[in-house]
Amino acid sequence: MTMVETNEAPEQVRLSTVDRVFAEVHEEGIRYCHWKSNHHLHFALAATEDLDLLIEKARFSEFVQILLANGFKPAETLTSRQQPGVYHFLGNDADAGRVINVHAYTRILTGDHLLKSSTWPLERLLLESTREHLGIRVPSASAELIVYAFRAMVKQTTVMDHYFLWRSKGGSEEELQWLLSAGDMERSRSLLARYFPEIEYADFERALALCSETGTGAFLSRLRLGFRFRRALSKYQRYGSLRRTSLTFLATLKMGWNKIVRRQKPMMLQDGGVVIAFVGPQATGKSTLVKHLRAWLGRELAVMTIHAGKPPATWVTFVPSKLIPILRMIHPDKSTGNVERAIEGGEVKSPPLLFLVRKVMLAWDRRSLLRDVYRQSRNGRIVLSDRYPSELPGAIDGRSFGDEQIEGEKSGFKRWLMAKERSLYAEIPPPDLVFQLSAPVDLAVKRNEERNKEGDQTEEYVRFRHSSQALPVFTRCPVECVATDRGLTETQDEVRRLVWKHV
């Protein structure tokens, strides 16, 4: 996971939500431990890495209730890798503006990276031998050394795990040295004999020594010892050899698709994805908030952003859309903005044909884009949309003509085009949440000048959009009204809180 940039040292960052959860867990006396990568525990407590918590199974439901009471939401992986006993929860720390990723285990699945196909009985070993570190319970270093050795050796036996080991080069040895400095090898010998008598202590010692060695000889020795560990622990495998091979192949394909082709995060909320729209006149902060939310949510979740006001051309509209700039140069008075102002001012009774064709093309492209992202949201993605079609005719980004205007049009062909636009917008699914943004027009004009966007974003156009009486209407989803004339940080804090409430 990518670290969040911060000016504070990780040890100094204490998230109030995390501290509150652990305080309640301690108060209830629930046995738990943060069971891996504890040399980087300060990063996990600061929500820049995941919190991997092993919870005593008998009291897991109580632990979940604490998480839910503190605003956490159940999540799952988009890759749909089945991991019984492993649960994902995402929380929001409102003060720090960070998403907290909790992996809660009642049973530890570990071993190879892709399948986590090993179910070594580590739960009692770890929960019965704990210590305090940075205010929370972690396994004793002697117990954690055993887990480290097992995981390190089994990961020597697969090609994919060698790739991930290569990517994390350096971090593993740092963790080993940290554990050795705090652990007691005699205590590790005793725990190994009690919980895993099938592993010789000499092999355990050799495994730890080989983790620090380099060169071809050390690699081959780790490979041979890795297969010895794997055979000794084979009775704890979740799958037989054939099924493990086939599932590994499928998991590799899924990983390649999700991380290389689609480039999306592997998590989604169990309730599924949502489409969140940001609407409002020009320069009220729509694009800024969409960009901020993508960075915030995208650390853990599959997120995509779209601009519904400027949808990409489809195969139907691609060629005609290339002609529009030329036609605009030939007939500048027929541009969309000029015609809209003329219609609203009562100067035009019958819209120009070129204007109507452009409106139908825009409706077609919006329908194609928004139906596609709706489907993606129902498969787990969070979609952030800059602008969205309103239900009210004549409002920005909605259909242009009401029923009376359509019926009153004398030209049959124009009437057909106007009705076609209406039917296309009727086929667009509603969003799940709308943020209605507002700001004083003078502030919007100032912002517009500072951002210097191309197109019709003149002062006249901005004032026209702000003075329009046809405000967007959305009756089929929650609408949150947010004034953006405050400081940016204050506005972002409010929007994050509201998004987390609704998702």
The secondary structure of 395-452, three-state, reads CCCCCCCCHHHHHHCCCHHHHHHHHHHHHHHHCCCCCCEEEEEECCHHHHHHHHHHHC
pLDDT at 281: 83
pLDDT band at residue 318 under the 50/70/90 scheme: confident
Residues 204 and 294 in one domain: no
> Do 40 and 77 belong together in one domain?
yes
Last residue of a domain, one of 261, 287, 306: 261
Question: The domain containing residue 248 runs over which residues?
Answer: 10-261
Strand order in the sheet with 275-279: 303-307, 382-386, 275-279, 433-438, 479-483
Q: Tell me the pLDDT band of 459, cut-offs 50, 70 and 90.
A: low
Residue 246 binned pLDDT confidence (cut-offs 50, 70, 90): confident
Number of domains in the chain: 2
Q: Do 344 and 222 share a structural domain?
A: no
| Alpha helix positions (H), 3-98 | 16-28, 41-45, 60-69
Q: What is the pLDDT of residue 212?
A: 82
Domain assignment present for 493: yes
pLDDT bin (cut points 50, 70, 90) of residue 1 is: very low
Domain assignment present for 327: yes
Lowest mean pLDDT among 129-138, 245-254, 377-386, 482-491: 245-254
> What local confidence, expressed as pLDDT, does residue 231 receive?
92
Mean pLDDT along residues 285-303? 93
Q: Between 363 and 470, name the one with better pLDDT.
A: 363
Q: In this structure, are 116 and 255 located in the same domain?
A: yes
- Domain assignment present for residue 326? The answer is yes
Look at residue 259 and tell me whether its pLDDT is greater than 70.
no
Label residue 397 by pLDDT band (50, 70, 90).
confident
pLDDT digits (tens, 9 = 90+) for 331-353: 666 666 666 665 665 566 788 88
454 and 292 Cβ atoms separated by less than 8 Å = no
H or E, element range at 32: strand 32-34
CA atoms of 373 and 160, how far apart (whole Å): 33
Helix, strand, or coil here: 167?
A: helix
Report the 10 Å Cβ neighbour count for 233: 19
Mean pLDDT throughout 271-288?
90
Residue 267 lies in a domain: no
**The pLDDT value given to residue 265:** 57
Q: Is the pLDDT of residue 386 over 90?
A: yes
Please indicate, yes or no, whether residues 371 and 465 belong to a single structural domain of this protein: yes
Secondary-structure percent of the chain, ordered helix, strand, coil, rounded to 5: 50, 15, 35
Q: What is the pLDDT of residue 335?
A: 61
Does residue 233 belong to any structural domain of this protein? yes
The pLDDT value recorded for residue 7 is 43
CATH code for the domain of 334 = 3.40.50.300
Q: Is the confidence at residue 57, as pLDDT, over 90?
A: yes
CB contact burial 307-337 (16+ within 10 A = b; e otherwise): ebbebebeeebeeebeebeeebeeeeebbbe
The chain-wide mean pLDDT, for the chain, equals 85
- Given 261, 294, 319, the domain boundary residue is 261
Q: pLDDT grade, residue 398 (50/70/90)?
A: confident
- On whether residue 57 sits in a domain, the answer given is yes
Mean pLDDT across 45-60: 95
- How many percent of the chain have pLDDT more than 70? 82
Residue 339 lies inside a defined structural domain of this protein = yes
**Do residues 206 and 89 both lie within one domain?**
yes
The highest-confidence range among 60-74, 234-248, 275-289, 427-441, by mean pLDDT, is 60-74
The reported pLDDT for the residue numbered 460 is 62
Strand 73-77, strand 267-269: pairing: antiparallel
Mean pLDDT throughout 297-326? 88
Burial 202-224 (b: 16+ CB within 10 A, else e): eebebbbebbeeeeeeeeebbee
Q: In a 3-state reduction of DSSP, which class is residue 237?
A: strand
- Domain check: are 127 and 103 in the same one? yes
Q: Looking at the structure, tell me whether residues 350 and 234 fall in a common domain.
A: no
- The pLDDT assigned to 343 comes to 60
> Which carries the bigger pLDDT value, residue 375 or residue 327?
375
pLDDT of residue 6: 43
pLDDT at position 96 over 50? yes
Report whether 155 contacts 161 (CB < 8 A).
yes
Same domain, 183 and 256: yes
pLDDT of residue 95: 87
Q: Is residue 1 part of a domain?
A: no
**447 token code pair:** 């912002």
Structure confidence at residue 170 as a pLDDT band (50, 70, 90): low
Range from 194-208, 342-356, 434-448 carrying the lowest mean pLDDT: 342-356
Q: What per-residue confidence (pLDDT) applies to 446?
A: 72
Residues 276 and 257 reside in one and the same domain = no
CA 359, CA 336: separation in Å to the nearest integer? 9
pLDDT (average), residues 88-106: 94
Give the mean pLDDT of 236-245: 83
Pairing of strands 86-93, 98-105: antiparallel
Better-predicted residue by pLDDT, 2 or 178? 178
Residue that finishes a domain, picked among 261, 290, 311? 261
The rounded radius of gyration (Å) of the Cα atoms in the chain is 29
| One domain for residues 240 and 354 | no
Q: Are residues 295 and 424 in the same domain?
A: yes
Report the pLDDT averaged over residues 160-178: 71
pLDDT at residue 251, as a whole number: 74
